[in-house]
Structure 1
Amino acid sequence: MDKPLSYESLKTVLQYLEANLRFHLSNRCVSLKCTEKIVPLRIDSLKLDQRLITVNKTTYLFGIYRDYHIKSDIPRCIQRKNNTGGLGNDVDQYGLPDYSIDHVVTSGDLVIKENGWQENIDRLRNRSMQQLEENVENMKRKREEWMLESYLADLQPHYYKRDNVLPPYDPFIQLTIKHEDETKTIHRTKYTMKLHEAIKKFNTLLFGGRRSTIHVKRVKVSNHHLIIRLPIDVTFRILELKFTGTVEIAYGELKKVVVNIDEPLEELFVDTIADLPQNFEHSLIANSKSLIIRKYAQRLIGDYLKLKNRRVHMRFEDCLFYERDHILLIRNWLETNRDVGYCYTFAFDKKETVVRRLELIKTEFDGDMNDQGSVTISMRNPSNQLCVSCVPTTYHNTGYNEPQWFLKIEVLHVD
């Protein structure tokens, strides 16, 4: 007979198990629950969304599944929703939408919302039966079949309520687990609680009741309009952060659960930064060792001259900066005598554009160009030199249409 693991050996094994496997074993084996909560939890990547979380390479998605009594009666638009994880909001007894998931806040929740965003969404959602009927007639005239089907499906619950009849389906809360190998596991339970309550209960099961801070390498807050349902007692220590929107809003909420939010992060990825200069001055951005900005609408080179980050990567779809902007940046670095380790990259779609810019920089600063096309410029400190080069992108499978080339500006030590 195999000898069972000692308590200390069990804790050691749990510490090195992948997080999702730990969750699974703890859920299946009641005797492991207490021990699993005691052992420090480490996660490689954590994506937080309103009704979805991704832990490492496993995604947990909640939705409302509508199980029609007669399968052939289900509208195609509702079938598509069922197939992709279910409806993202609650429904009442007639099937009318209930958007409490967007409004109800409980202890421990993080509310990350841009000003005015919720009001705009609510205006679009609050369509009366008369408005929907007008939309249906309009789509009939235009012969827009898929839109007509969608409006008819939205209209049907109003008729159920008017006639005081129940819809021809049973609603369930559905949890879809998408595994690393792309396979899915689906769990459904009776619709006896609101969607946000089910999400809160699940996240508490995963993260609540732990004696120590959860260590996460990368955290992604995937939207700038959401409520993240977390247990009251959870805390995280992170190395890298990715978010969208206004820095102050994200920072104010994450500060409640991220214990090292005021310490320099290894990397900060801002998916879309709001067009506010004060965002660049915020400590979250200013203190990060590496800053990646994917989108920023303003072409204000002055904002970037203020940055003190040693590594900054501008990953726009195409570079928003004019030739003179890069000239100003290089001149600023030369005048302030930036030291070794500073490195900025700017995205471009075409290599030819980068090459032309290198030629201009060489002429402007009387630099030297080597056989690879890189330009070196002397600095006040004779031990350092400023190097400008064209490099291919190193980002793959990001889900974006990424640019292929970067203009790289860096300070190097002279050999």
Structure 2
Amino acid sequence: MLAAIPDMDRRLSYGSLKCVLQKFKANFRFRLAERLPEIRCAEKAVPLYIDKFTFAEEGFKLNNTEYQLGVICQVRDGPAQKTFIGQAQYGGHPRDIDRFGYEIRSFTELTPGDIFVQDYNPQMDADDDLEFETTEESLLIQQNRLIALEKEKIELEHAPEEVENIPENPMELDLSEEDLIGIEPEEEDDLMDPDQVERGRDQVLSRKEQLEKINISIIYAKTLLAYIEFDLERNRRKRDNLPSLFDFFIQFTKTSPDGTVYIERFNYDKSLMAARKYLICKLLGNRKPVMKIKSLGFWARPGGGLVISLPEGIKLDVQNFGTSGNLSDVLERVEPVLEYPNRPFNLLTSDSLRLEDAQNPKVQNAEVLVLSDNWDVDYIALCREVQNKNIVIFLGQEMQPLEYGLLVEDLIETKGTVGTFYEITQTGEDKTKEAMRFIAAHFENVVMRESLIIIPLSHQLQLNVSCEPYLMDPSLVHLWTMKMEVVQNQKN
């Protein structure tokens, strides 16, 4: 019996369409709904499953697709400096800028759904008057430097040649017999020393090299001078409230995992924060089902600010969470968008954790606590505050052998439970192995093996201390990892 031929004109039912959409990945669903407006309601009604959702100052990355918004400054008259030309290549300036091209280090008023993560560092704010004086001073210095370089070039070009027309081999002169008639033998002292010939040739080559270097320096000095003059003009216009040099655009850049780049530009008639909120709401707004996110991250640049603009009323089911800024404050602000605010995170990551954050229930209850490039906390004190925990430390403050020893001592004295695990990655193989030797020498009943130290504990437990190269990225050969783990005694 022949199979029935499907009717190509027959449409999927609403329920069937939702089942099909649920099988697609998030970014493909967004593209599909953009092209087919008639399926948008069904797409919004299907839960989203996202592996990794990371927000940063320049935009966000959803799974492996990057969404970026930035400001483009286009000079109206005259050549643009490379600083402004290069912006378009990197998606534009990630912060709002004023009409003179200077960044605005503050936020517009927060709206419902916004999560404040980190403010700008006020110490990095520029003093306009001081900046103008500095630019004028730099202009004078650079002008004098350019004059000196051009003078040096002229002097070098007109300097007399010490050795001219030296044959490749001065001992092999092609002279005819007639040329030799009448030439009296020279005294030995009158002959040119071969070393002197070589020195002369070196001087000729050295002068050519010097001219090349001077020409390169002149090109660089002229480029820098043009930038300073341009910057001085910007600053003067800002000080005197004169018309701007620029036209402005917001550039939207979407980069797909296969490297495909889509770019679109809009008039700069709203703040970047408002533009980002519009984009986020377009993709994630008006969704009743809870979005399931395996890993959610809010990451600000050092000294930079960050506000996460989410649709009002959105709910997220998050397993792993990481953030910049004051950890306890951010955890409190993110709580309203969590579907399960009291459920511990599988993994909690911070680059700014402080010792007082250790008392936060979400820090205490996180299955794994990760400190990434953290310079604000005493690791020993933290491990004492948060006992029997999986703690991963990546870079940040450098630990000395004695500090590694203190961690081991604390695990022995506090009777660490099975599963207590410390993983510390820092620079230097030698430092890590020195710490291993320190531990082996300062504790009793130690069993030494290659890259492994076993220390017996009470209650049929043992502490394994090991070291190895950083395996997450083998190209970072300068990084080494030490692991401390409480396990069952293997003899039992």
Q: Check whether TM > 0.5.
A: yes
Q: What is the rounded CA distance, in whole Å, between the counterparts of 2:48 and 2:403 in structure 1?
A: 46
The aligned length equals: 401
Where does the alignment leave 5 or more consecutive residues of structure 2 unmatched?
1-6, 146-220
Amino acid at match of 2:35: R
CA contact (8 A) 2:462 2:487 kept: yes
Deviates further, 83-92 or 330-339: 83-92
Bigger RCO (CA 8 Å, 6+ sep): 2
2:23 alignment counterpart: 16
Aligned residue for 2:432?
354
Aligned counterpart, 2:285: 208
Three-state SS of the structure 2 residue aligned to 1:5 is: coil
Decide whether the 8 Å contact of 2:401 with 2:434 is kept in 1.
Answer: no
Aligned letter for 2:485? E
Indicate the residue corresponding to 2:381 in structure 1: 302
Q: How does 1:269-284 map to 2 (within 5 A)?
A: 269-273=349-353, 276-284=354-362
Matched residue, 1:119: 122
> Does the residue aligned with 1:256 lie in a helix, a strand or coil?
helix
- Give the Cα separation in 2 of the matches to 1:288 and 1:104: 33
Conserved in 2, the CA contact under 8 Å of 1:346 and 1:406?
yes
Instruction: Give the Å deviation of 1:49.
Output: 2.4
2:487 matches 1:412: yes
1:344 to 409, 417, 422: 422
Matched with 2:395 is 316
State the shift of 1:95 in Å: 4.0
Whole-angstrom distance in 2 between the partners of 1:158 and 1:333: 59
Q: 1:379 to 1:146 in 2, by over 3 A?
A: farther
Name the CA shift for 1:46/1:309 in 2 (closer, same or farther; >3 Å).
Answer: farther
Taking a change above 3 Å as real, the CA distance of residues 345 and 65 of structure 1, as seen in their structure-2 partners, is same
Shift of residue 233, structure 1, vs aligned partner: 1.9
Q: Aligned partners of 1:205 and 1:19: how far apart in 2?
A: 13
Q: Mapping of 1:233-248 within 5 angstroms? A: 233-248=313-328
Q: Report the counterpart of residue 217 of structure 2 in structure 1.
A: none
Q: Is the 8 A contact 2:139 2:229 kept in 1?
A: no
Match of 2:312 in 1: 232
CA-CA distance at 1:133 after TM superposition: 6.0
Contact persistence 1:176–1:187 (CA under 8 A): yes
Q: 1:328 to 1:88 in 2, by over 3 A?
A: closer
Match of 1:184 in 2: 261
1:402, 1:39 → 2: CA distance?
A: 45
Deviations 1:95-145 (A, max 9, x none): 45573862332221111225xx45334x31x515x8426514424414566
Name the SS of the counterpart of 1:265 in structure 2: coil
Alignment of 1:156-195 (within 5 A): 156-157=233-234, 165=243, 167=245, 170-195=247-272
Gaps of 5+ in 1: none
Q: Which amino acid aligns with 1:263?
A: R
Whether 1:5 aligns to 2:12 is yes
Using the TM superposition, give the Cα deviation of residue 59 of structure 1 relative to its aligned residue in structure 2, in angstroms: 0.9
Q: Conserved in 1, the CA contact under 8 Å of 2:422 and 2:485?
A: yes
CA distance in 1, matches of 2:140, 2:16: 68
Change (3 A) 1:258 1:147: farther
Return the offset for 1:172: 2.2
Q: CA deviation at 1:305?
A: 1.5
Structure 1 residue 342 displacement after superposition:
1.1
SS at match of 1:73: coil
Residue 38 in structure 1 maps to residue 45 in structure 2: yes
Could you tell me the TM-score, scaled by structure 1's length? 0.86
Cα offset for 1:90?
Answer: 4.2
- 1:28 and 2:31 are equivalent in the alignment: no
Q: What CA distance in whole angstroms lies between the structure 2 residues aligned with 1:344 and 1:96?
A: 47
* Matching residue of 2:80: 74
Amino acid at match of 1:387: N
Q: Which moved more, 1:191-200 or 1:51-60?
A: 191-200
Q: CA deviation at 1:147?
A: 5.6
> Which of the residues 436, 443, 449 maps onto 1:365?
443
Residue 388 of structure 1 pairs with residue 393 of structure 2: no
- Residue 357 and residue 127 in structure 1: after superposition, are their counterparts in 2 closer, same or farther (change >3 A)? same
2:299 to 212, 216, 222: 222
Q: Deviation of residue 188 (structure 1)?
A: 1.3
1:218 aligned partner, one-letter code: S
1:57 is matched by which residue type in structure 2? N
CA distance in 2, matches of 1:165, 1:154: 15
